[in-house]
Structure 1
Amino acid sequence: MSAVSVSAQQLLQFVLDDDLDAAVRAGLMDFIASPAETTLSPAQSQQLLAAQQHLRSAWAARERHRARDARLARRAAEREARRAPPPVADSKPALPSAAAAILARAKARAAEKPSS
């Protein structure tokens, strides 16, 4: 997501309007309060920095929640795998088609030979 270049005053207006999506798109997370910035008062700069911190905290919490959900899902799948009955082995192992053909020919030859 690329930030649109807007003034610090416009960023502040987005924050004051509670339009954080627009503020983020406009570059709120790239805002750095500098003494050279003359359009904002220190209190207004602090509001923008507080909004940044609030968003960073919310995003970090969302990532922790997603990681927890993934961890719980993985544990549930492992638990289900342990509870599942073991796979039942076939009574006759399947032969590859070439081996089955060889066996069939050998059985046919054995059936043709007279027993002594």
Structure 2
Amino acid sequence: MLAALIADDLDAALQLGLLDAQPCPGCDGGCNARLIEARDARLVALAARERHRARDARLQRRKAERQAARAPAATIASAAPALPSAAADALARALAKARERTSR
């Protein structure tokens, strides 16, 4: 495992059990320190990744809840009766006049 760490091959070190590694009684202090440091750094990174994923899931859930809360209001508004034809004509004329004034 230490050879993989020295070669900067974290994938191999992880496959060899880096996350569960314990200090080796037969190794010197520098070897054990490097092993424990690498293990702890990976555990911190994995915890950070898990927090990030949980945050993303929470934000997606909140977004879905907000959209669901807005959906009934949108369906009620779209179910409102249309304007009578005389009112719709008057509105169309007013909008045309307003566009004409702004285009000048």
Q: Structure 2 length as normaliser, TM-score?
A: 0.66
Count of paired positions: 75
Higher helix share: 2
Q: Secondary structure at the match of 1:33?
A: coil
1:68 matched to 2:55? The reply is yes
The TM-score normalised by the length of structure 1 is: 0.59
Unaligned ranges ≥5, structure 1:
1-10, 89-116
**Which segments of structure 1 move beyond 2 Å, counting only runs of 4 or more?**
85-88
Question: Where does residue 30 of structure 1 map in the other structure?
Answer: 20
1:79 aligns with 2:66: yes
Matched with 1:46 is 33
**Percent of aligned positions with the same letter in both sequences?**
47
Q: Where does the alignment leave 5 or more consecutive residues of structure 2 unmatched?
A: 77-104
Q: Distance in 2 between matches of 1:58 and 1:28?
A: 13
